[in-house]
Amino acid sequence: MFARLVRRAAIAAALLAASFPAFGQTFPTVPQNTVIGRTAFGTGPAQAIPFATITANLCNLVTPTVKGCVPPPVTTTGRYFGDDLSWHAVPSQQVVAGTGVTLGGTCVGTSLNCTVNATAATQLVVPSRALAITQNLSALSAIRTLGYATTGDGGGATFQKITSGNFTDSFVTNTTTTSAGSGCTNGTYNGVFVTGGSGTGLYGIVTIAGGVMTSFAISGPGGNGYVIGDVLTIPAPGGGTYGAVTCTTQPTVTVAAVTAPAASFTDAVGTKFQYVPDGAVNVKQFGAVGDYSGTLITNDAAAFQRAVNFASRRGALNTDAGGYGGDVVYVPKGAYAICGGLSVYGTVALTGAGKGNTILKQCDTDGASQRFITLGDPALHFACFYTSVREMLLYGALAPANTGVAMIYSNCQQQGVAVYNVAAYTYLRSCVTTDTGYGGASDFTMIGLFCSINNSSTNAGISLAYSAAVQTIRESIIESSGWTGDGILLNGPVSSTAMTVIENTHVEGIQFPVHINYPAGTTAMTKISGFTGGSAAGGCSSVIVRQAGSQAGNILVGAINPNGCTNTLNNAGATTSGNVVAWTTM
């Protein structure tokens, strides 16, 4: 009986289910990355709500004490769901790990999902420096800009907040005499490093007449970090100062003008952010454009010089004569027009992306006496250590050039390779010229130089007249097309202890590949090996020439191939032809 009742109940339930459809909630199709709900208060129809809208609201709801995604400078732990644009008023940002900051999750974009544990303000990443200048960034300790949003904007850089002093990419352009001093020894003093003030590295030329200072002329980059009103003293001898002047009362000058920062900036509320190099100093971070394409559009000389000036800033651990503790100045791939020449100061290496990638074009309007790149400050009269030009192509002005005017010049460079993997198409200038060798220059070295000279030039391809312990040319090529001049000219006066070494080098299409004219009486030596000449249209007379009347017996040559030249050696008129294999003295 009971079993029959159970069966009847089951049948009734089945019939009831068949008679009435099941009731359940159904959902409309909505876009991806959304949920169904309501953003308004009260009842009403449902809607698709984007994840970004929810996370932006939760950013403030869940972590109301930490606005946005950049915590204040206190110990903070929080879950960051979104980007609070009202806090920083920028279209996108990125939380960047730094000192005391650790991250987890997605920490970049307009919809962040990032866990931040911080003890200090993190870096804010903005699209460009131009935008950063318009913001209130006072709550941050540092920011980073992204790529180069506009030409010359200086993107891709890091900036650190400073609360005192001036920018280190600001330079002194003028001083006034505060006190002319008294009882000074008359004369002209080069490379006088002043003392005092808020900056470092300002030096100049002091003229003393009638026992007082009659002028102070700024030389070199103009120092770094000085402010208008700084009172600076012309130093007395002693205490490790350089270019000191002996006076009863030392002269003083006052900083009268400084440049605006070249890469750093001040934000909308006056907060100073100092440019900090990411390893190398990039010329584009100082406004270089690199738009030369056969026609002068932008003169990048000022941007290059500002970058070099900043990179040469004087370091506290390198304060000897000419020492700065500077950086590499990197020139990205491209062609840059430089008008009026460029000075590369102590310890700075001006470095490109390779001979075929980075091109510096000298403006055709440069005068006949204008050098293109000067290594060191010629007026300093001290050694300039480690200064160099590397990995680029230099293209000279298509204009006249005076005798001795070069694409690369120095009277002070020493230690380290001065010219490395550089091509120079000079037209009428010399590729490299040196003289003097201030500071007892210990060496001047060139490796991988390619030097091309117009056949109407009056300048030697390379002209060395340096008082250096060692002058070296290695793995280099000097070429022309029938030029009746000198490929390499070794001229005096030189130090009696000097040694010139030329190895694995080729000179092509030039009448006198090597011309040696050291004054009689010197004990300076020359060693040449692994060298080949090449016939010129006008005839290569001799690969190596020792000028009649010059010092004899101090030139050692071996493994010399004339390669089409009439003679291999011309020893003050006595000629030798054919390969010279064994070491031979001239």
Q: Could you read off the pLDDT of 308-336 as tens digits, one per residue?
A: 999 987 543 343 433 445 689 999 999 99
In this predicted structure, what is the pLDDT of residue 61?
A: 31
Give the C-alpha separation, 52 to 32, whole Å: 12
Q: For residue 109, what is the enclosing H or E element?
A: strand 108-109
Contacts of residue 327, Cβ cutoff 8 Å, sequence gap at least 6: 277, 280, 281, 311, 348
In the predicted structure, residue 1 carries a pLDDT above the cut 80: no
| pLDDT band, residue 128 (cuts 50/70/90) | confident
Contacts of residue 431, Cβ cutoff 8 Å, sequence gap at least 6: 406, 407, 408, 424, 449, 451, 453, 461, 462, 478
Return the top range by mean pLDDT from 34-43, 249-258, 318-327.
Answer: 249-258
Q: For residue 160, what is the enclosing H or E element?
A: strand 158-162
Give the C-alpha separation, 380 to 439, whole Å: 10
| pLDDT band, residue 13 (cuts 50/70/90) | very low
CB atoms near residue 113 (< 10 Å): 16
Give the C-alpha separation, 186 to 416, whole Å: 37
In this predicted structure, what is the pLDDT of residue 578?
A: 94
Name the residue with higher pLDDT: 575 or 46: 575
Burial-class residue 512 by CB neighbours within 10 Å (0-12, 13-18, 19+).
buried
At position 259, the amino acid (one-letter code) is T
Name the residue with higher pLDDT: 365 or 122: 365
Q: Give the CA distances from residue 82 to residues 33, 144, 348, 405, in Å, rounded to whole numbers and listed in that order.
A: 14, 20, 44, 62
Which tokens go with 209?
A: 């007449």
Give the C-alpha separation, 199 to 217, whole Å: 17
Dihedral over Cα of 77, 81, 82, 86: its sign: negative
Q: What is the pLDDT of residues 415-460, one digit of tens each?
A: 889 999 999 999 999 999 998 888 776 789 999 999 999 988 889 9
Give the C-alpha separation, 138 to 135, whole Å: 9
In this predicted structure, what is the pLDDT of residue 502?
A: 97
Which tokens go with 537?
A: 């249209």
SS3 121: coil
The region that residue 334 occupies, defined by phi over 0 for left and psi between -120 and 50 for alpha, beta otherwise, is left
pTM of the model: 0.80
Name the residue with higher pLDDT: 83 or 355: 355
Give the C-alpha separation, 401 to 84, whole Å: 61
Angle among Cα 76, 87, 140 to the nearest 5 degrees reads 60
Contacts of residue 136, Cβ cutoff 8 Å, sequence gap at least 6: 89, 267, 268, 269, 271
Which tokens go with 91?
A: 């279209």
SS3 475: coil
Give the C-alpha separation, 199 to 309, whole Å: 14
